A and B are shown apart, each in its own frame.
Chain A
Amino acid sequence: QSDCTLVTAVSCHDIFDLQTGQSDSSPLAKGTAFAFIKAVQSVNERLVKLSEKQTLLFEVILLGKDCEEQAKSKIFDSAKYYLEIGKFCFCSKEKFERTLQENHVKLFLSSDRDDVHVPAALLCQQADQQVQNQLKVLFSGDLIGLTEDSTEYLKDLGFNDVQIHNFKAAKGRIQEFAMLIGEMRRRFGCEDSPLHTILMTVWGSRDICATALKTLRAWGLDVDEAFCLAGAPCTPILTVLQPHILWDDGLHN
């Protein structure tokens, strides 16, 4: 497992709908993460097409936190039915973070805001399950454009010191992931890329946005799209964008 693999862990609760009752034989219904997995697969396919000895690829691990025994085998079978997942990890809630570390997970995705741990991003519900032949990753300009001098405006908005400290820490975690995404993105041209990156600054000024753009560039990532909202509601924009991954550490609510 090379350092270059972008290991992403997804909760089995997001890949499959574990709530609704299932008959024993049929596979589980698809969940939120499904479109994401499909999009990731098309990125991998394109990367391999460019070079067969490709090492920079996505690897998706399916994580099951506190799953019942019955559910486990069901998940196993369903996963094989639908898609190729590299690995399965079932663990308890307590061992969760260790499991992430042991598997060199660079990014954990969950659709449950309360669930997101380090390093983690939000998995977004896709309105249209079919459309995605492009993996869309959205980064927060407020987090990435954060510098020592620019925390005042966050305080004005009502964030406390602890939260602001957490945001600063988040910036560091995003870096590794962003660098890998940047490298992947560079393999493709401006147009017709299966990977699409977006920067969104919700609260910060245009200078924060410029800092974020330059920071990402220094990390090797040239984003495709950039938005600066200056406090305007982000939901209407997100509805048009439909990102799969949203990394904002709760900054945007």
Chain B
Amino acid sequence: MSLDPVQVMKGQDPMALSPPPASNGDSKVSWDEKEGFCDSVGPKKPKSGPVRRARKVEGGIFFPKPENAVTIAVSSRVLFRTEKEQKVFEEKGVEEYLKYQVEHENEPFAPGPAFPFIKALESVNTRLRELYPESEELFDIVLVTYNHANVGVRLINTINHHNLFIERFCMTGGSSPIGYLKAWHTNLYLSADAEKVQEALSEGIAAATMFMPEKQIEVSETQLRVAFDGDAVLFSDESERIFKAHGLDKFFEHERENENTLLDHGPLKGFLETLGKLQKKFYAKGHRLDCPIRTYLVTARSAASSGIRALKTLRAWGLETDEALFLAGAPKGPMLEKIRPHIYFDDQMFHVEGAVEMGTIAAHVPYGIAQKYPHKKKSTNSAK
């Protein structure tokens, strides 16, 4: 059994133990192409006021209905860098903090860890609009912050400065944003606050805490790259539990015995699914090779053994990732540095920190058993 990380490309299957189901969705797109139904209505009725419709502008739809779009809610603390202001808040309290914000209102914030991800979403949207100008199946970005509305002007100035396409926001002035996340049909919530993220996860909303890398490696401006850990992110934490309770041997045994039993789903499965649906829209128009969305599975499982169950589960769900990297326990940092994702989801802080140290934009999904038993950090990096 090789200990080297194995890279499995979609389409080549060294593990063909059973014929894969036809998961290449070249033909039909699964979502209905709902027309902005109000647009087809004739002369406007004078009394009832505006008919609510997705606003159409030259070149496609720019304000999709939340239920039709892939809604990404991002907090101001991860979209922008607000460390200085955070410090004022922690040291001097909320009133001083607000005063500070207003005083510096015309100084835009610098980009934060989620910034490249959001920019990449916008470029995917541009490509989607070119191919499907009538469709509302786009990324819809909502700024959700529990900042006081006083900070609103500075945030809007910053959005203008960076030329971001964000027109929707909620500034909740201290109240929990969770109710609003649901109202916006949020598909993914990114925040700096682990508590809020956990609250969102418990309400069934995919969510993660983001961390600013010290050094920033360059990421693609034309292709959105999203990398996922397997257990407790795409899949449930079932196997993690076995590993934590009974060790590696038991884990392998359990996985072998249950090879043909599907793993249960994890909090980010739905998000991978929505990415897959958007990818299929590009394939349908002949853009498989230059698809602006690319997904990666980066797992500590090993290709020859425990990885099989993961792949089979994905197949059974009708999902796939463009690349699957089985590291067999090797550190993820170097692999991620090569991939350069706009975001990498992992349930273990140990891996998130390792990734961030090497410049990868990583997000922590505080789900499952790993939160109760944090990995003890080794002082040297001799994992072999």
Residue among A189, A210, A240 with the most chain B CB within 10 A? A240
Q: In the assembled complex, which residues on chain B have CB atoms less than 8 Å from the CB atom of A213?
A: 149, 152-153
Complex Cα spacing A253 to B156, Å: 26
| Complex interface residues of chain B between 348 and 383 (CB less than 8 A to chain A) | none
Q: In the assembled complex, which residues on chain B have CB atoms less than 8 Å from the CB atom of A214?
A: 153
Complex Cα spacing A196 to B184, Å: 22
Q: Assess the A232–B63 pair: CB atoms within 8 A.
A: yes
A201 to chain B, nearest CB (A): 9
Contact with B along A196-216 (1 / 0, CB 8 A): 100100010111011001100
Q: Assess the B94–A191 pair: CB atoms within 8 A.
A: yes
Q: Assess the B183–A231 pair: CB atoms within 8 A.
A: no
Contact with B along A218-240 (1 / 0, CB 8 A): 00001111111111110011011
Q: A157 in the interface, Cβ–Cβ < 8 Å?
A: yes
B74 to chain A, nearest CB (A): 14
Residue among A205, A229, A232 with the most chain B CB within 10 A? A232
Q: Assess the B171–A227 pair: CB atoms within 8 A.
A: yes
Q: Assess the A232–B94 pair: CB atoms within 8 A.
A: no
Q: Assess the B171–A210 pair: CB atoms within 8 A.
A: no
Q: In the assembled complex, which residues on chain B have CB atoms less than 8 Å from the CB atom of A232?
A: 63, 65-66, 168, 184
| Complex interface residues of chain B between 148 and 182 (CB less than 8 A to chain A) | 148-150, 152-153, 156-157, 159-160, 166-175, 179-180, 182
Q: In the assembled complex, which residues on chain B have CB atoms less than 8 Å from the CB atom of A226?
A: 149, 152, 169-171, 173
Q: B90 in the interface, Cβ–Cβ < 8 Å?
A: no
Q: Assess the B98–A190 pair: CB atoms within 8 A.
A: yes
The 8 closest A-B pairs by CB, nearest first: A236-B183, A224-B173, A226-B149, A230-B167, A240-B179, A253-B49, A157-B50, A225-B173
Q: A158 in the interface, Cβ–Cβ < 8 Å?
A: yes
**Which B residues are closer than 8 A to A by beta carbons?**
44, 46, 48-55, 63, 65-66, 94-95, 98, 148-150, 152-153, 156-157, 159-160, 166-175, 179-180, 182-184
Q: Assess the B52–A233 pair: CB atoms within 8 A.
A: yes
Contact residue among A159, A207, A240 (Cβ-Cβ distance under 8 Å from B49):
A159
Q: Assess the B50–A203 pair: CB atoms within 8 A.
A: yes
Complex Cα spacing A236 to B179, Å: 9
A133 to chain B, nearest CB (A): 14
Q: In the assembled complex, which residues on chain A have CB atoms less than 8 Å from the CB atom of B98?
A: 190
B298 to chain A, nearest CB (A): 35
Q: Given A190-B98, A223-B149, A228-B169, A210 and B157 touching (CB < 8 A)?
A: yes
Q: Assess the A190–B171 pair: CB atoms within 8 A.
A: no
Q: Assess the A210–B95 pair: CB atoms within 8 A.
A: no
Q: In the assembled complex, which residues on chain A have CB atoms less than 8 Å from the CB atom of B94?
A: 190-191
Q: Assess the B156–A206 pair: CB atoms within 8 A.
A: yes
Q: A250 in the interface, Cβ–Cβ < 8 Å?
A: yes
A157-B50, A236-B182, A253-B49 known, 6 other contacts, Cβ within 8 Å = A158-B44, A190-B98, A227-B170, A230-B167, A233-B52, A236-B183
Q: A51 in the interface, Cβ–Cβ < 8 Å?
A: no
Q: In the assembled complex, which residues on chain A have CB atoms less than 8 Å from the CB atom of B54?
A: 231
Q: A73 in the interface, Cβ–Cβ < 8 Å?
A: no
What are 22 A-B contacts with C-beta separation under 8 Å?
Answer: A158-B50, A159-B50, A160-B46, A190-B94, A190-B95, A190-B174, A191-B94, A203-B50, A209-B156, A213-B149, A223-B173, A224-B174, A227-B171, A230-B63, A231-B54, A231-B63, A236-B182, A237-B170, A237-B180, A240-B183, A251-B49, A253-B48
Q: Assess the A240–B174 pair: CB atoms within 8 A.
A: no
Contact with B along A90-120 (1 / 0, CB 8 A): 0000000000000000000000000000000
Q: Assess the B148–A190 pair: CB atoms within 8 A.
A: yes
Q: Given A206-B167, A214-B153, A237-B183, A225 and B51 touching (CB < 8 A)?
A: no
Q: Name which residue of chain B comes closest to A227, CB basis.
A: B170
B222 to chain A, nearest CB (A): 26
Complex Cα spacing A207 to B55, Å: 17
Complex Cα spacing A224 to B172, Å: 7
Q: Name which residue of chain B comes closest to A212, CB basis.
A: B152
Contact residue among A205, A237, A240 (Cβ-Cβ distance under 8 Å from B167):
A205
Q: Name which residue of chain B comes closest to A156, CB basis.
A: B55
Complex Cα spacing A236 to B183, Å: 5
A51 to chain B, nearest CB (A): 20
Q: Name which residue of chain B comes closest to A200, CB basis.
A: B170
Q: In the assembled complex, which residues on chain A have CB atoms less than 8 Å from the CB atom of B51?
A: 158
Q: In the assembled complex, which residues on chain A have CB atoms less than 8 Å from the CB atom of B48?
A: 253
Q: Name which residue of chain A comes closest to B179, CB basis.
A: A240
Residue among B50, B65, B160, B168 with the most chain A CB within 10 A? B50
Contact residue among A207, A228, A239 (Cβ-Cβ distance under 8 Å from B183):
A239
Q: In the assembled complex, which residues on chain B have CB atoms less than 8 Å from the CB atom of A205?
A: 167
Q: In the assembled complex, which residues on chain B have CB atoms less than 8 Å from the CB atom of A196?
A: 173
Complex Cα spacing A190 to B170, Å: 18
Q: In the assembled complex, which residues on chain B have CB atoms less than 8 Å from the CB atom of A223?
A: 149, 173
Q: Name which residue of chain A comes closest to B174, CB basis.
A: A191
Contact residue among A157, A199, A225, A228 (Cβ-Cβ distance under 8 Å from B172):
A225
Q: Assess the B148–A228 pair: CB atoms within 8 A.
A: no
Contact residue among B157, B168, B175 (Cβ-Cβ distance under 8 Å from A228):
B168
Q: Assess the A210–B152 pair: CB atoms within 8 A.
A: yes
